[in-house]
């Protein structure tokens, strides 16, 4: 365990090509995942037991509900605003069908899950974005739910924890999805002006209109190791500047070095970190 913690602590060599660890024991026929970092096949059961983190420190994507379970006290999560589901305000070609497909595939109604929960006994409002739902893109329903959550948190004087993953604004909702950036920001501002804490945990990937709104507006901004965090996609940047990008461009270490996140926190330490932050900001 000590070795594991050492491997996963901030500043590991993850982004420089990984490190070797003991060979993985496996049972015949067990489903495996290929780690894109160390190139080894890891049994899924082992990953599950390890918060979807490879022995080399690579953080696999995680479903929003898995994250909520990992970060909050067992059974304490109360989901809010489940009635809010995407409409199709522009009647955008193919959008309805796309929504139906991703709803079935992800098992979620929307790209964000909101609610209240306890983190080591501290009450907080929490939202977790779902990468398996159109890469956590922000349409009107996502904007509405996040805005409502900040308003709910303001009313009840609660801190907000945001677990963020997003490709940005959802283009199928056109200029209305763009407006969600302004709308959520205004709600964040009111919550902030009331002296309440907002912590954002940026996971892979956090980009576009979400980076350019509530992801970068938190009091404390944490990043998961290896997460891509940026405004424009790396390919777009490359096309714009016609230059090869440096290794690790827009990765968590890069963003930390340029001063846009507070800490890189590996998954194994996220819950303890959040709990400590909440304790340090306890009111009353």
Binding to another protein, residues 190-209 (CB under 8 A): 190, 192-193, 208-209
Minimum CB distance to another protein, residue 188 (Å): 6
The owner of tokens 């015949």 is 28
Closest to another protein by CB, 255 vs 268, is: 255
Q: Give the torsion through C-alpha atoms of 10, 16, 18, 19, to 10 deg.
A: -90
- CA torsion 234-206-85-87 (nearest 10°) is -30
Nearest approach in angstroms of CB 82 to another protein is 5
Minimum distance between the CB of residue 108 and another protein, rounded to whole angstroms? Answer: 15
Number of residues lying near another protein (CB under 8 A)? 67
What is the per-residue binding string for another protein in 222-251, x denoting contact by CB under 8 A? --------xxx---xx--xx-x-xx--xx-
Span 92-151, contacts to another protein by CB under 8 A: 92-94, 139-141, 143-144, 147-148
Nearest approach in angstroms of CB 192 to another protein is: 8
Taking the least distance from each CB to another protein, the nearer of 6 and 243 is 243
Q: Are strands 78-80 and 122-129 parallel, antiparallel or unpaired?
A: unpaired
In this structure, the chain runs to a length of 284
**Segment interacting with another protein (CB under 8 A) among 9-17, 18-26, 54-62, 189-197:** 189-197
Subset of residues 11 to 70 that bind another protein, contact rule: CB under 8 A:
none
CA–CA separation, 17 and 99 (whole Å): 37
Interacting span for another protein (CB under 8 A) from 77-85, 103-111, 118-126, 155-163:
77-85
Least distance from another protein to the Cβ atom of residue 31, Å? 31
CB of 215 to another protein, least distance (A): 7
Distance of closest approach, residue 102 Cβ to another protein, in angstroms: 14
Q: How far is the CB of 51 from another protein (least distance, A)?
A: 27
Name which position in 58, 81, 133, 150 contacts another protein (CB under 8 A). 81
Which C-beta is closer to another protein: that of 40 or that of 152?
152
The 3-state secondary structure of the chain, one letter per residue: CHHHHHHHCCCCCHHHCCCCCCCCCCCCCCCEEECCCCCCEEEHHHHHCCCCECCCCCECCCCHHHHHHHHCCCCCCEEECCCCCCCCCCCCCCHHHHHHHHHHHHCCCCCEEEEEEEECCEEEEEEEECCCCHHHCECHHHHHHHHHHHHHHHHCCCCEEEEEEECCECHHHHHHHHHHHHHHHHHHHHHHHCCCCEEEEEEEEECHHHHCCHHHCCCEEEECCCCEECCCCHHHHHHHHCCCCCCCCCEHHHHHHCCCCCEECCHHHHHHHHHHHHHHCCCC
- Give the residues lining the site for another protein (CB under 8 A): 78, 80-84, 87, 89-90, 92-94, 139-141, 143-144, 147-148, 152, 169-183, 185-190, 192-193, 208-209, 211-217, 230-232, 236-237, 240-241, 243, 245-246, 249-250, 258-260
């Amino acid at each position: 365990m000590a070795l594991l913690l050492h491997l996963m602590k901030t500043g590991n060599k993850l982004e420089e090509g990984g490190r070797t660890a003991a060979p993985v024991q496996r049972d015949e026929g067990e489903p495996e995942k290929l780690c894109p970092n160390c190139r080894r096949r890891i049994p899924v059961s082992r990953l599950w037991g390890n918060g979807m983190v490879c022995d080399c420190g690579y953080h696999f994507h995680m479903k929003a509900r898995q994250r909520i379970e990992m970060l909050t006290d067992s059974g304490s999560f109360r989901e809010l605003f489940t009635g809010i589901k995407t409409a199709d305000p522009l009647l955008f070609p193919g959008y309805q069908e796309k929504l139906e497909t991703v709803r079935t595939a992800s098992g979620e109604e929307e790209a964000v899950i909101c609610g209240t929960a306890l983190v080591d006994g501290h009450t907080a409002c929490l939202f977790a974005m779902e990468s398996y739902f159109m890469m956590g893109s922000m349409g009107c329903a996502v904007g509405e739910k996040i805005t409502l959550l900040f308003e709910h948190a303001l009313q009840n004087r609660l801190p907000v924890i945001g677990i963020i993953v997003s490709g940005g604004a959802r283009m199928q909702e056109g200029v209305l999805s763009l407006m969600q950036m302004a709308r959520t920001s205004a709600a964040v501002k009111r919550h902030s002006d009331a002296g309440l804490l907002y912590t954002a945990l940026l996971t892979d990937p956090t980009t576009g209109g979400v980076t350019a709104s509530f992801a970068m507006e938190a009091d404390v901004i944490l990043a998961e190791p290896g997460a891509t965090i940026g405004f424009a996609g790396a390919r777009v940047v490359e096309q714009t500047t016609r230059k090869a990008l440096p290794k690790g461009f827009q990765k968590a270490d890069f963003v930390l070095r340029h001063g846009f996140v507070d800490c890189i926190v590996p998954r194994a330490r996220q819950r303890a970190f959040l709990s400590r932050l909440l304790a340090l900001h306890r009111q009353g």
